[in-house]
Amino acid sequence: MMSEPLNWIKSSYSGGGGQCVEWAPDHITTTGLIPLRDSKRTDGPVLILSLAAFTDLLTLARNADIG
């Protein structure tokens, strides 16, 4: 997986209720990849996306009709 320790940052869009996503933006500059994880499971799996896939994920989330 990733050898260096990551600086995880909670998403500014994470709301209350414990539904939080963390990402490690510093990792992008060294690898071009974006790690994401559930802030409630810091020892759990990490989703690693390319910049293009991350952009697509954000677009999908912004356009989702959740309610």
DSSP strands (E only) in the chain? 9-10, 21-23, 33-38, 47-50
Q: Any idea where the domains of the chain sit in the sequence?
A: 20-63
Give pLDDT tens digits for 7-58: 998 876 666 666 688 989 888 888 999 999 998 888 999 999 999 999 998 8
pTM of this prediction exceeds 0.85:
no
Distance CA 18, CA 31 (A): 29
Say if residue 3's pLDDT is above 70. no
pLDDT of residue 13: 62
